[in-house]
């Protein structure tokens, strides 16, 4: 799994905070919640992208990647 159980819990917590802030927060609070989720999820997104690239490149050489 790309996300550990703890990472998944934290991601869901941050998404819940963002959703709650969207309901009753002001612009600054919404942006802060978005930034917190973005900051936390960026390494996860990078791992997903690296895994996708690695999978796409299996068995290929630089010459055959074109």
The three-class DSSP label of residue 13 is helix
Q: What share of the chain is helix, strand, coil (3-state, %, to 5)?
A: 80, 0, 20
pLDDT in tens, the chain (66 residues): 678 899 999 999 999 999 999 999 999 999 999 999 999 999 988 988 998 898 888 877 777 655
Task: Give 12: exposed, middle or buried? Use CB within 10 Å, 0-12, 13-18, 19+.
Answer: exposed
Reported pTM: 0.73
CB atoms within 10 A of CB 47: 13
- pLDDT tens-digit profile of 22-35? 999 999 999 999 99
């Amino acid at each position: 799994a790309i996300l550990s159980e703890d990472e998944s819990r934290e991601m869901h917590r941050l998404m819940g905070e963002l959703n709650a802030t969207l309901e009753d927060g002001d612009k600054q609070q919404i942006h802060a919640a978005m930034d917190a989720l973005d900051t936390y999820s960026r390494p996860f997104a990078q791992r997903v992208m690296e895994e996708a690239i690695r999978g796409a490149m299996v068995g290929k050489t630089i010459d055959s990647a074109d």
